[in-house]
Amino acid sequence: MREQKLIEKIESQAKIFKLRGNKGHDDDKRHDIIQRDEQKWMWTARNKLDWSYAKIGSTFGRDHRTTRKAVESYENVKRVAKQKPHAVADPFASKLYQEHQSDMLHLVERLSAELESPLSLLRLRSLKGRGTNSNNSLGWQVEDGKSVCLYYGLELAKDPKTKILRGYLDQHLHSSSYHWLIDAEEKGIKKWTRLGGEDLKMRTILFHQMNQEVEKLPDPNPIKNLPWGTETFSDSLLEAALEGRTFYYTVAPVVRWPDDAINIDLTRIFKVQYGAIEIGLTTSEAEGAQYVEWHKQLMDKYKEDPTVKAINQLKTERELVIKDIQEVFIKFVVDKYIPGKCNYEFCRYG
């Protein structure tokens, strides 16, 4: 009974292989290249059922000499696989395993880029509850208004395929010598998360401290409900203080408005800029110059703030952690291989 089922299976597979054969020749034999999956079934007929090469050739629509070469070729694949403990005996499974590795390597490249995302991408003014930045490369969660958790984008991915692949990647890392990437507290991704959370918390505190001082100044935006916004003092002050760089200031007349604000009198409106950032609108050049002076004073004050130094120290530590992680990720990409195992069906063939 078992032998009969095997015969029926082989004959069924032979019909499928015949359908993909080249057509248009004068004889009734196939002339397309024998692929690995067809070799496998020819080998099975020869070794499990003891069929002759002529019978196998007749069943698969092949010349008996071509059939012999195909069986011997597949026999060689199996012999090499036995000699190498990690070699792949089934070529079809090997292809699926390579695709599995490729999918995870794409994930590694994405994660590497997300770990580099600067915290300046996060809008501290609206940093409440749980959320992400505009391109979803970073996320946060504020807990009890005190601690802040930082997330990389893959942790927040919602599509099922990405979540499954991330689970496979975690299993590979857990089961390899690179488990420290996700397990260790004092290096790897856990340290990146901890340092980033501390950094983000201190940035938020400093930002609101700056914002309170800025709110004491006269409103630098005399025109309300504009169809386009301007950056506030505090938005620009934080990064200026952290980076320690000074850009040029300009106070210039506004020469163009959006169409729905075309009736505004432009003769008395001036735009104040710090580098490329708009920090206010005033009704005179003198008023604009005053806001420039206030901006300079606050920036100089906060450059020496102990919190700024602490944030920059955390940033430096996080950059070193990222460097260590990316050295491993680069090796994975160059080798086109992520060590370890996972629950993926064909991972055992790797």
Quick check: is 199 in a domain? no
| Residues 221 and 287 placed together within one structural domain of the fold | yes
Note whether residue 200 is domain-resident.
Answer: no
Report CA 111 to chain centroid distance, whole Å: 4
Amino acid at residue number 218: P
Closest CA to 182 of 11, 52, 340: 340
Last residue of a domain, one of 83, 108, 123: 83
Question: Is 324 a member of any domain?
Answer: yes
Residue 210 and residue 157 share a domain: no
The answer to whether residues 251 and 104 belong to one domain is no
Count how many domains the chain has: 3
Q: Could you give the percent of the chain with pLDDT greater than 70?
A: 77
Same domain flag for 277 and 325: no
d(CA 321, CA 142): 23
pLDDT for the residue numbered 171: 95
Same domain, 50 and 97: no
Range of the domain at 65: 2-83
Residue 282 shares a structural domain with residue 323: no
Specify whether 77 is located in the same domain as 109.
no
Q: Which of 275, 291, 307 is the last residue of a domain?
A: 307
Using CA atoms, how far apart are residues 170 and 111, in angstroms rounded to an integer?
Answer: 12
In a domain, 168, yes or no: yes
Is residue 184 located within the same domain as residue 108? Answer: yes
Cα 23 from Cα 20, distance rounded (Å): 9
Determine, yes or no, domain membership for 6.
Answer: yes
Instruction: Kindly state whether residues 111 and 22 are assigned to the same domain.
Output: no
Asked, for residue 100, whether it belongs to a domain, the answer is yes
Does residue 195 fall inside a structural domain? Answer: no
110 and 164 co-located in one domain: yes
User: Is the same domain home to 65 and 108?
Assistant: no
| Domain end point (choices 25, 48, 83) | 83
Residue 229 above 60 pLDDT? no
Give dist(CA 196, CA 151) in Å, integer. 9
pLDDT band, very low/low/confident/very high, at 22 (cuts 50, 70, 90)? low
Query: Which CATH number is 75's domain given?
Result: 1.10.1750
How far, in Å, CA of 91 to CA of 93, rounded? Answer: 5
* 282-335 tens-digit pLDDT: 778 888 888 888 888 888 888 888 999 999 999 999 999 999 999 999 999 999
Whole-prediction pTM: 0.64
